[in-house]
């Protein structure tokens, strides 16, 4: 079934920052999900900017319970719908802190049990709602309020946790990564995830102008640069195997990093070339692992 | 109805089956486990048309119930002690969202030190979560309170989650004769759950929104009002149960031999059975002792309790919990705090006894000693403290 791109189930007038990547993710995933959807939100930016009582941006049934339990709540909804013979789809939308950190127990349980739910993580790479603290999704060397760059620190000490692989290892039949900078691709992946029986996962890269430090008019451009530098890879995994990868003619990582205040310490007062090289190495490993470089022979990409 | 001798946990599971939850979500923990094992068997045998979610933690057990009830299904869970503590956040959330459920608590002490044995610290510690809390004296009452619990919880005047508490091991693992309703009787008393709101694509609502300071206080007020309305609903539903099945639960406090009683014992749960036996013996010896048993701790039936204690010269409270740090230089339990509040302005002394924690057995002789201590004005103390191991 074709996605009705004119369908708007995420009402305007919510309180997200201008240029919020997560808000776009919310609007786009609902276009793909459609009206026969029950949405479960974790505590976080999207929950807060969309539902200050008594206002709501959600035109589909929506529930928020706690920070870390969205997938358990979704399990209960799916279970109830099954017993009642109802056909609505259950979709979780949660941030990276809720997904990669505090909610892992509940997500692992829900995926292991095989509930027919779709879990979408909008990944803005830190705890933005509480004021930009690092999460397990924060990239290497990003400066956040709990991983600040300083005289003896170059920012976040660890690379991003690979949540898609963790959930693929749970036997999820469909795991995908996407970016709000590629809306059609994201919506197709959401639709595919929802229509695949069982627990499915989509992690969508959602640049945060406030937390990353760039102008709100550049959200899509920053999202594209993440893809074009190989620091974010869009791919699909079906039954644990990578089946589709977004290929690019890669740009050096500096082009992405230098646009964001969270990496400013790598360039000012002087370029920290050793650290930039380490980040370039992360992109190179991604490129090799997923075969994203267009210059590579096509056989390797299969 | 037929009288059957069965283990408390099995009796509870059979009662839950007759309440027809559509979603059961639970996690094993001693001494609750027999209940959810029995329910798993009941579901596996097709005797209950429920989806049984084998969650990975108690936190998820109750979280899944939040989803199930929000989607319009009757749900059930059971836990105790550490499991209930792990549910702490969900408990407050579920009550605030006004999602009704019945959850059985097989009361057990909280660690550290680790203890699998009985006291009532676990549910008492959830005192302020917004749940109704019923405490059963015996397995018959534990069973009946499940039917009553669902009916009260789901009443649109209430819409609050409910804990049916019964003492771990002392009741959960004890075989007693129990009158079990037939399915037809249960269905006639407890109709299917009719949610006030539910998650439904045909009629979208947003649940669990956040409240700014302009609204938060009013949400808390509404929840407190629902607790207060539950007092009347509980009387009404308890009376109906009595009219149908001959066991009346309209009283939130039960007075036992309180006529002309000078010493009134106040307690909750299985300790009341022992206390009644002790009272019978003391009455035979000419002592004017009675019991006022709390069947319901939330809402707290202050007026009923005050009326029941009106003629007493002194009140001895048996607290199977402790509010650590309360009471100045003397120990204090949560029940005594409530009793004192209910009797505020009265000159009747209220003497508190922290007793039976972590499974320490309480016998008839102990109750008699407590009464003697209270007569001597010696209260607000631990009972049975082994000073030699301190």
DSSP B306-357: HHHTTT-SEEEEEESS--TT-STTS---HHHHHHHHHTTT----EEEEE--G
pLDDT tens column, B14-49:
999 999 999 999 999 999 999 999 999 999 999 999
Q: Which pLDDT belongs to residue A5?
A: 82
Would you call B206 and A88 a contact, using CB atoms and an 8 Å cutoff? Answer: no
Look at A47 and B210 and tell me if their CB atoms are within 8 Å: yes
Find how far residue A81's CA is from the centre of its chain: 27
CB contact under 8 A, B59 and A84: no
Rg (C-alpha) for chain B, rounded Å, is 21
Hey, where are the domains in chain A? Answer: 21-301
Beta-strand pair A235-238/A241-245: antiparallel
Q: What is the CATH number of domain A21-301?
A: 3.40.50.970
* Chain A residues closer than 8 Å to B208 by CB: 51, 63-65
Q: Are residues B269 and B202 in the same domain?
A: no
H/E stretch holding A255 reads helix A254-257
The span from the CA of B32 to the CA of B35, in Å, is 6
**Burial zone of B240 (CB within 10 Å; 0-12 exposed, 13-18 middle, 19+ buried):** middle
Q: CATH number of the domain that B383 lies in? A: 3.40.50.920
Q: What is the mean pLDDT of chain B?
A: 98
pLDDT at residue A3 in the model: 83
Please give the C-alpha separations between residue A87 and each of A59, A79, B148, in angstroms, as whole numbers: 18, 11, 32
So what's the pLDDT on residue B357?
98
Q: Provide the residue-wise pLDDT of chain A in tens; the chain has 302 residues.
A: 578 888 899 999 999 999 999 999 999 999 999 999 999 999 999 999 999 999 999 999 999 999 999 999 999 999 999 999 999 999 999 999 999 999 999 999 999 999 999 999 999 999 999 999 999 999 999 999 999 999 999 999 999 999 999 999 999 999 999 999 999 999 999 999 999 999 999 999 999 999 999 999 999 999 999 999 999 999 999 999 999 999 999 999 999 999 999 999 999 999 999 999 999 999 999 999 999 999 756 665 55
- Integer Cα distance of A283 and A249 in angstroms: 13
Q: Do B64 and A75 touch (CB under 8 A)?
A: yes
Could you say which of B22, B59, B204 has the minimum Cβ distance to residue A69?
B59
Best mutation target, B208, B212, B215, B218, to test chain A (most A CBs within 10 A): B208
**How far apart are the C-alpha atoms of A226 and A224, rounded to whole Å?**
5
**Residues B31 and B116 sit within 8 Å (Cβ to Cβ):** yes
> B295 and B228: one domain?
no
Smallest CA–CA distance, residue A96 to chain B, in Å, is 19
ipTM of the complex: 0.97
CATH code for the domain of B110: 3.40.50.970
User: Minimal CA–CA distance to B254: which of B298, B308, B299?
Assistant: B308
When CB atoms are compared, the residue of A77, A105, A109 closest to B71 is A77
Half-sphere exposure of A247 (CA within 13 A, CB side): 14
Q: Which residues pair with A122 in a beta bridge?
A: A95, A204
Instruction: For residue B9, give Cα distances in angstroms to A23, A77, B13, B22.
Output: 49, 27, 6, 20
Asked if the Cβ–Cβ distance from B55 to A74 is below 8 Å, we say no
Residue in A36, A59, A65 closest to B63 by CB: A65
Q: What pLDDT score does B100 carry?
A: 98
Chain B residue numbers with beta carbons less than 8 Å from the beta carbon of A48 are 210
Q: Which of B193, B224, B245 is the last residue of a domain?
A: B245
Q: How close, in Å, is residue A6 to chain B by CA atoms?
A: 19
As a whole number of angstroms, the distance between CA B62 and CA B85 comes to: 12
| A74: contact with B, CB 8 A cutoff | yes
Q: How far apart are CA B131 and CA B147, in angstroms?
A: 16
Let me know whether B325 and B351 are in one domain. yes
Residue A81 touches partner B, C-beta closer than 8 Å = yes
Cβ-count burial A244-253 (b if 16+ within 10 Å, e if not): ebbbbebeeb
Q: What share of chain B in percent tops pLDDT 70?
A: 100
Chain A closest CA to B378's CA: distance in Å?
A: 47
**Quick one: B58 and B191 in the same domain?**
yes
B interface with A, Cβ–Cβ below 8 Å? 22-23, 25, 49-51, 53-57, 59-60, 63-73, 75, 89-90, 93, 97, 199-201, 203-212, 215
Query: Chain A residues with CB inside 8 Å of B68's CB?
Result: 76-77, 79-80
Best of A60, A61, A93 to substitute, by most chain B Cβ atoms within 10 angstroms, is: A61
Q: Name chain A contacts of B66, Cβ cutoff 8 Å.
A: 63, 65, 69, 72-73, 76
- Asked whether the beta carbons of residue B67 and residue A62 sit closer than 8 angstroms, the reply is no
Instruction: Give the nearest partner residue to B204 out of A61, A64, A73, using CB atoms.
Output: A61
Cβ–Cβ contact A54 with B under 8 A: yes
B112-139 pLDDT tens trace: 999 999 999 999 999 999 999 999 999 9
- Give the Cβ contact number of residue B349 at 10 Å: 16
Domain range enclosing B145: 2-245
- Cβ(A208)–Cβ(A127) under 8 Å? no
Dist. CA B44–CA B36, nearest whole Å: 12
What is the enclosing helix (H) or strand (E) of A202? strand A200-205
Given a contact cutoff of 8 angstroms between Cβ atoms, the answer to whether B162 and B296 are in contact is no
Q: Which of B200, B229, B245 represents a domain boundary (last residue)? A: B245
Query: Do residues B174 and B262 share a domain?
Result: no
Contact B371, B283 (CB under 8 A): no
Spell out which residues of chain A touch residue B64, defining contact as CB-CB under 8 Å.
Answer: 72-73, 75-76, 79
DSSP B192: P
Residues B264 and B166 in one domain: no
Q: How far apart are CA A185 and CA A198, in angstroms?
A: 21
Among B54, B199, B204, whose Cβ lies nearest the Cβ of A77?
A: B199
Domain stop point among B245, B266, B297: B245
Interchain contact, A62 vs B68, CB within 8 Å: no
Same domain, B199 and B337: no
Q: How many CB atoms lie within 10 A of CB B348?
A: 16
Distance from CA of B64 to the nearest CA of A (A): 4
pLDDT one-digit tens code per residue, B285-344:
999 999 999 999 999 999 999 999 999 999 999 999 999 999 999 999 999 999 999 999
* A51 touches B: beta carbon within 8 Å: yes
Residue given tokens 């996690």 in the structure block: B27
Taking an 8 Å cut-off on Cβ atoms, the answer to whether B206 and A72 are in contact is no
Q: How many helices (H) and strands (E) does chain A have?
A: 11, 10
Residues B229 and B266 in one domain: no
Q: Do A76 and B68 touch (CB under 8 A)?
A: yes
- Asked if A59 has any chain B CB less than 8 Å from its own CB, the reply is yes
User: Which pLDDT score is estimated for A4?
Assistant: 85
pTM, to two decimals: 0.97
Query: In whole angstroms, what is the distance from residue A140 CA to residue A52 CA?
Result: 34
Number of domains in chain B: 2
Of the candidates B64, B206, B210, the beta carbon closest to that of A72 is on: B64
Same domain for B63 and B199: yes
- Asked if B260 contacts B298 with a C-beta cutoff of 8 angstroms, the reply is no
What is the spatial distance between Cα A133 and Cα B160, in angstroms, rounded to a whole number? 36
Under 8 Å between Cβ of A124 and A118:
no
């Amino acid at each position: 079934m074709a996605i009705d791109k004119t369908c708007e189930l995420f009402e305007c007038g919510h309180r997200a920052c201008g240029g919020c990547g997560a808000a776009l993710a919310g609007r786009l995933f609902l276009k793909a999900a459609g009206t026969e959807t029950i949405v479960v939100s974790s505590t976080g930016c999207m929950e807060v900017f969309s539902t200050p009582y008594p206002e709501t941006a959600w035109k589909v049934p929506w529930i928020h319970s706690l920070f870390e339990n969205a997938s358990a709540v979704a399990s209960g909804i799916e279970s109830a719908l099954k017993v009642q013979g109802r056909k609505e789809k259950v979709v979780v939308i949660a941030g990276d802190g809720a997904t990669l950190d505090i909610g892992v127990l509940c997500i692992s349980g829900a995926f292991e049990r095989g509930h027919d739910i779709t879990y979408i993580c909008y990944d803005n790479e830190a705890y933005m709602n509480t004021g930009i603290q690092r999460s397990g999704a924060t990239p290497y060397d990003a400066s956040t309020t709990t991983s600040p760059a300083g005289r003896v620190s170059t920012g976040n000490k660890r690379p991003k946790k690979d949540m898609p692989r963790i959930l693929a290892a749970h036997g999820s039949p469909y795991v995908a990564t996407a970016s709000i900078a590629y809306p059609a691709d994201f919506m197709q992946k959401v639709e595919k995830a929802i229509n695949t029986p069982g627990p499915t996962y989509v992690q969508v890269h959602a640049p945060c102008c406030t937390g990353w430090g760039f102008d709100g008019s550049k959200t899509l451009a920053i999202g594209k640069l993440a893809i074009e530098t190989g620091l974010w890879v869009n791919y699909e995994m079906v039954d644990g195997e990578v089946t589709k990868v977004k290929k690019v003619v890669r740009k050096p990582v500096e082009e992405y990093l230098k646009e964001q205040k969270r990496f400013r310490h790598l360039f000012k007062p002087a370029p920290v070339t050793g650290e930039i090289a380490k980040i370039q190495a992360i992109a190179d490993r991604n490129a090799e692992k997923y075969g994203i470089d267009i210059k590579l022979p096509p056989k390797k990409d299969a | 109805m037929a009288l059957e001798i069965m283990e408390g946990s099995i009796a509870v599971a059979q009662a839950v089956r007759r309440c027809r939850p559509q979603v059961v979500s639970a996690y094993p923990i001693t001494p609750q486990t027999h209940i959810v094992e029995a329910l798993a068997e009941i579901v596996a045998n097709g005797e209950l048309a429920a989806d049984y979610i084998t969650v990975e933690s108690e936190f998820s057990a109750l979280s899944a119930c939040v989803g199930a009830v929000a989607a319009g299904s009757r749900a059930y869970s059971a836990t105790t002690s550490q499991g209930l503590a792990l549910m702490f956040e969900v408990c407050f959330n579920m009550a605030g969202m006004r999602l009704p459920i019945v959850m059985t608590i097989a009361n057990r002490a909280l660690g550290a030190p680790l203890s699998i044995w009985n006291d009532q610290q676990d549910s008492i510690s959830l005192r302020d979560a917004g749940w109704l809390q019923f405490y059963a004296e015996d397995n018959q009452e534990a069973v009946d309170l499940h039917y009553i619990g669902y009916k009260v919880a789901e009443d649109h005047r209430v819409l609050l989650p409910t804990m049916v508490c019964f003492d771990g091991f002392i009741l959960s693992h004890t075989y007693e004769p129990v009158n079990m309703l037939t399915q037809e009787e249960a269905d006639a008393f407890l109709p299917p759950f009719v949610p006030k709101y539910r998650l439904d694509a045909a009629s979208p609502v947003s649940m669990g929104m956040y409240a700014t300071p302009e609204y938060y206080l009013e949400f808390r007020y509404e929840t407190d009002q629902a607790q207060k309305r539950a007092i009347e609903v509980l009387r009404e539903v308890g009376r109906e149960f009595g009219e149908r099945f001959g066991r009346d639960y309209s009283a939130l406090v039960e007075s036992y031999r309180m006529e002309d009683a000078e010493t009134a014992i106040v307690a909750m749960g299985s300790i009341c059975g022992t206390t009644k036996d002790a009272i019978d013996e003391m009455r035979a010896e000419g002592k004017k002792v009675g019991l006022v048993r709390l069947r319901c701790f939330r809402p707290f039936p202050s007026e009923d309790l005050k009326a029941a204690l009106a003629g007493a010269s002194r009140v001895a409270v048996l607290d199977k919990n402790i509010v650590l740090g309360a009471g100045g230089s003397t120990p204090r339990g949560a029940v005594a705090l409530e009793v004192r509040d209910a009797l505020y302005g009265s000159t009747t002394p209220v003497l508190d006894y922290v007793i039976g924690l972590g499974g320490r057995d309480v016998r008839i002789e102990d109750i008699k000693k407590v009464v003697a201590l209270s007569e001597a004005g010696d209260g607000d103390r631990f009972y049975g403290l082994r000073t030699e191991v301190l």
